[in-house]
Chains A and B, each alone.
Chain A
Amino acid sequence: MQQAQQGDSAAYQELLGALVPVIRRYLARRLFNKNNIEEITQEILLALHTARHTYLPQLPFDRWLYSIARYKMIDALRKMYRHDNNAETNIEIETFSAISTNDSDDGFTKDLHQALMQLTSKQKDIVTLAKLEGYTAAEVAKKLGMTETAVKVSIHRSLETMRIWLIKNGYE
């Protein structure tokens, strides 16, 4: 690393090459989803490059490496989590628009209706109004004489119930 700080690109290339399996092992032990390992490894390599001037030869190298690896791993997971949340919302929108337009596969539509049947009658009303008929939470709250927060909570719980039912019936 000291040679890399002095601009020796051959030594630097060798060092990064040797670090890749170390970083992969580090991530493999900590990540549940193994598909992200390569992407986060590259993020960490970029971070090591950006922060190469912060390496102090008098302090241990592995502490420098793992400190940056941990920081970038958490950062990358946070970004992915945010992205996944948006994706979940999009799936939800697509799913319900599929029911309402009847464009989708009949089997899946039937299963979605079955999932809807798992809800209480009040939950069914709320989900139908909010997700099939397109009313906002505030409008649903006004129609059913509830608070807006209660409607949002109910939608969240209903979707969770439906999701669990769909997973139990073979959907992922």
Chain B
Amino acid sequence: MDTNKLINTLADNLTATQPVKPALQASLQWGGFATIFLAGACGYIGFRPDMMEVISGSAIMAEALLFIMIGLVASYVALDLRVPQSPLLFKNKGLLAVASLGWIGFIAYYAVNALYSTAPQEHLHVEDLLHECIVELVAISSVLSVYMLYMLKKGATTQRLASGYACLLACASFGALAMRFLCPNEEYLHLLALHFLPVLGLASIGATAGKLLLRW
């Protein structure tokens, strides 16, 4: 087709459109959905028996706050990258690095404690890949990621790998937050292997899936 003819056709078919929401607004919208969904999911599955002690304890609440912050930062990056004008370099790369380093630091802390802790630790086996903690974490993260994918598909992501990674990092961070309110096991090795490491695993899967699913 001739380029001028194409321009005429596009101009003839033009309809008014609403610009996409800015990333911060979209991120808060997703965060609101995630909070409501997590409350519902935790209520349905059942909160851990010592939930009241957990809420009053500062350590777990600080962890929860960290997960929320990382989740919101990662969701902001994912949703910002759905606008082609958003630069990957500096701002978004920096934010994504901060979110990832937050998790890596957290995992390193638990790994050191799991190695040097004198408290008895349960042994983990290959079958634990299908442990109910991992299954629940993946299920919760998947629901959150479907909603975020819907939001991302409304935009035009040009950095699909980074956006996919950020999307699943955000969803898995909120998933890990839910798991802290569902699973009463406080052993370092259990938390490390079945709650926290899968978050980075899911984020890596998100990078690959993003390349395929965010094509437009």
Contacts and interface: CB of A to CB of B under 8 A. Distances in A.
Contact of A56 (B7, B10, B17, B20): B20
Given A13-B7, A42-B6, A59 B85 contact: yes
Contacts of B18: 53
Interface in B1-39: 1, 3-4, 6-8, 10-12, 14-20, 22
Interface residues of B, number: 27
A63 B87 contact: yes
| Interface range for A | 35 or more
B7 A9 contact: no
A71 B15 CA distance: 24
B85 A55 contact: yes
A149 interface: no
B78 to A, nearest CB: 14
Contact of B19 (A9, A16, A41, A53): A53
B12 A56 contact: no
Given A50-B216, A56-B22, A7 B16 contact: yes
Contacts of A54: 19-20, 82-85, 155-156
Given A42-B1, A52-B17, A55-B85, A71 B8 contact: no
A68 B19 contact: no
Contact of B7 (A8, A20, A71): A20
A30 to B, nearest CB: 16
Interface string A41-73: 110011101111111110110011001101100
B14 A38 contact: no
A136 interface: no
Contacts of B7: 13, 16-17, 20, 45
A161 interface: no
Interface string B83-105: 11111000000000000000000
Interface in A7-46: 7-10, 12-13, 16-17, 20, 38, 41-42, 45-46
B113 interface: no
Contacts of A52: 17
A27 B82 CA distance: 24
Interface of A: 4-10, 12-13, 16-17, 20, 38, 41-42, 45-47, 49-57, 59-60, 63-64, 67-68, 70-71
Given A12-B10, A45-B6, 17 more contacts: A5-B17, A7-B15, A8-B14, A9-B14, A10-B11, A12-B11, A12-B14, A13-B7, A16-B10, A51-B84, A54-B20, A55-B19, A56-B20, A59-B83, A59-B85, A63-B87, A67-B158
